[in-house]
Chain A
Amino acid sequence: MRSPDHAWIWLVRKEWRELLASRSWWLFLLLFGPLVGVTFISAVNSYAEASGYRGSAAGVGEAFSPLIGIWAPTFGACELAAAFLLPFVAIRLVAGDRLSGALKLEIQQPISPLSRVTAKGVVLLAGWLIASLAPAAAIALWLSYGGSLHVPELATVVLGHVLNAGLTIALAFTAASITTHPSTAAIVTLGVTVGSWILSFIAAVHGGRWAIAAGYTPTAMVAEFQHGLVRLDVLLIAFTFILTGLGLAAVWLRIGVAARRRTGESMALLVLMAVAMYLSTFVSPSWDLSESRMNSFAPADERALRQIRAPLQIEAHLAPEDPRRADLEQRVLSKLRRIMPKLKVVYVSNTSIGIFEQTSAHYGEIRYELGGRRSVSRVTTLEGVLESIYSLAGIVPSDGSESEFRGHPLPVPPRGAALVFYLLWPALALAAAFFSHRRRS
């Protein structure tokens, strides 16, 4: 009998051939280029126009960051592909073995079930990286236009999308190993994706614990990476999800083990996952790798806020759908949480939209409590909130003499991009599929 190490290498080689033999993979590759092309071309056009191209007001693009103007929308294609194309490739890789009967043969080689799943995962991730040549082509085009590139923020975006692909792969593997038919697995996978969107919607309406849970959905996770923010808790939770998904797939691919035992093992895994995720929420380190430091306060403010040792509580009387609440949360509180881990934020409202609470005397108030001292304000801007906190803490921030991010306007249209993504990419994908098929036979 072949040693497990050698067998694993053979398994990886076989999975690679199976991936190349899969029509779903080639279709995925074929569609991915034009998908990236649509988003990239649209983003570059908008960026150019905002930067003064074709007579639009020059200087509007002064504060433009390629991270938000180019990479977030371009890599948004990866998110779409991960949600709607990648699951089918992943499901095919797992369910194909079950349907064809190959699993009944391969299960007789006693390598660990996790090794089996890992072999598939490694191959699929490699496939994803090959597909990533499309966004890589977008980066090359951007540089050829004379665009600015801040490697740390781009790497953060790429990391976010690789993690997102990992989550999709783990979810699809789990669904394909538990269900008996690929179509059921596809429905389960898409159901979970749609479910995470519903969770985000509920969170937007009700806030509270829903909002905390929605903060860890793949969509929310990718959004943070697309803003150049790396949060350790999000990383840990993503890895926990991926490992649990692969673990569940490994458990359910052991077709020779009684279903009751596999169910018990799955429950144990889910409990472990829940504990690991709960503990991860207490981890606070995060890194703002965006060139514009869009997830951080000005360095002078950060220095001042770090001097505050007492726990700060903010009570905002704003309904979940009140735009001021979104403004406060996204522009101020998300940054404040990174600097002040002891910050406690409480939202108070009787309704979800807040329109009918406007007559209430206290609606719209932001109440601050720091070291026993209290103040009330209705200002939701960054400057207003910081002023309230400084006033309570009795500190005055030093003058911010640091250089401010001025942006990288680029009034250049996406020359050649349509040729690359709509013609060259599909032609290359088709040619590669053709030669791969010929080589196999």
Chain B
Amino acid sequence: MNGVGSNTVTETLLRVHGLRKSFGPVPALRGAAFAIRSGELLGLIGPNGAGKTTLLECLAGVQAFDAGEIVLPAGGAARVRLTALLFYMPDGIAPWPDQPVGWALDYALGFFGGQRALLPEVIRELSLRPLLGTRISALSKGQRKRALIGLALLMPQRVLLIDEPFEGLDLRQSREVAAVLRTHVSRGRTVVVSIHQIADAARVCDRFVLLNNGGVVAEGTLNQLTSLAASRLGGVPCGDFEEVFLALT
């Protein structure tokens, strides 16, 4: 499935300008700049160490950034307004490991004021029912990923930032989760995912932000990026998105 252009993308929800972040002497973000638009599934694409997770964490306020700004269309970007707009689901976490999945979903709904009406649907879509009584620490990597994506989908925020949503999932599960994400995007949700597997990204996302060495090297739809890559290669067309990525990074 190629979701490129499958939604009517209009409003810019958030714009990032010159975001910089260093860990000691090591720069992780070098002036990253891009926009998130309403109702899109945006893919942050880049190799390991490109700065995808750092960028998402800076956006979500989970990490402080050194310079740059996050601008909302109405002006300013007070952290409270950003928190009301964005929810970030990190990769590789096992929150509340001694608690069962069902309790974790219920707690997240209560604590964050999530959309309780969505709960049965999310449980069904992500096949979570058999896991509801299982402790989070006892879940496999893929099961945990599905449970946490389910938790993110229940959140009240309009924009979801999901770090590596397909990490730990097999091919079938990846496709199922991609379909679920697309379903929620088609209903008006905006989803930003970071993906280091380029083939997965090409299958799922409407638009792409290509990151390399902490900077955004290109931003656009698959067609726009393909054209840009071809122009960089002197008019030679790229065969697939992997070649586009290599040409632009």
Contact = CB atoms under 8 A, between A and B. Distances in A.
Given A18-B96, A100-B94, A100-B97, A108 B133 contact: no
Given A10-B111, A110-B83, A441 B100 contact: yes
A441 B94 CA distance: 17
B87 interface: yes
B140 interface: no
Contacts of A107: 61-62
A106 interface: yes
Contacts of B80: 110
Summarize A's interface: helix, strand, loop or mixed: helix
Contact of B93 (A3, A21, A102, A256): A102
A256 B61 contact: yes
B61 A108 contact: yes
A102 B113 contact: no
Given A14-B96, A105-B95, A108-B83, A441 B110 contact: no
A209 interface: no
Contact of A10 (B93, B110, B156): B110
Contact of A102 (B61, B83, B95): B95
A100 B93 contact: yes
Given A2-B113, A22-B98, 9 more contacts: A100-B94, A104-B62, A105-B89, A106-B111, A109-B83, A109-B112, A255-B63, A256-B61, A441-B135
Contact of B95 (A3, A101, A109): A101
Contacts of B113: 1-3, 6-7
Interface in A242-289: 255-259, 261
Interface in A83-104: 97, 100-102, 104
**9 cross-chain pairs, A with B, having the tightest CB-CB distances, nearest first:** A101-B93, A2-B113, A102-B95, A21-B98, A258-B64, A256-B61, A10-B111, A10-B110, A110-B83
Interface in B90-104: 90, 92-100, 103
Nearest to A260: B64
B208 interface: no
Most chain A CB within 10 A, of B98, B100, B103, is at: B98
A17 interface: yes
Most chain B CB within 10 A, of A7, A17, A108, A261, is at: A108
A106 B93 CA distance: 13
Interface residues of B, number: 36
B91 to A, nearest CB: 9
B184 to A, nearest CB: 18
A259 B83 CA distance: 20
B111 A440 contact: no
Nearest to B107: A14
Interface of A: 1-3, 6-7, 10-11, 13-14, 17-18, 21-22, 97, 100-102, 104-110, 255-259, 261, 440-441
A6 B60 CA distance: 22
Nearest to A111: B111
Contacts of A17: 99, 103
A120 B60 CA distance: 24
A105 B89 CA distance: 7
B92 A101 contact: yes
Nearest to B156: A1
A255 B58 CA distance: 11
15 contacts: A1-B157, A2-B112, A3-B113, A6-B110, A7-B113, A21-B99, A101-B95, A104-B57, A105-B89, A108-B62, A110-B80, A256-B60, A256-B64, A258-B64, A440-B100
Contacts of B93: 100-102, 104-105
Contacts of A101: 90, 92-95
A1 B112 contact: yes
B62 A441 contact: no
B107 A1 contact: no
Contacts of B84: 1
Contacts of B98: 18, 21-22, 440
A256 B100 contact: no
B95 A257 contact: no
Contacts of A7: 111-113
Contacts of A108: 60-62, 83, 86-88, 112
Contacts of B100: 440-441
Given A101-B95, A102-B95, A104-B93, A256 B112 contact: no
Contacts of A102: 93, 95-96
A102 B148 CA distance: 11
B62 A255 contact: yes
Contacts of B108: 105
A17 B95 CA distance: 13
A97 B111 CA distance: 15
Contacts of B66: 258
A100 B94 CA distance: 5
Nearest to A259: B64
Contacts of A18: 96, 98-99
Contacts of B110: 2, 6, 10, 13
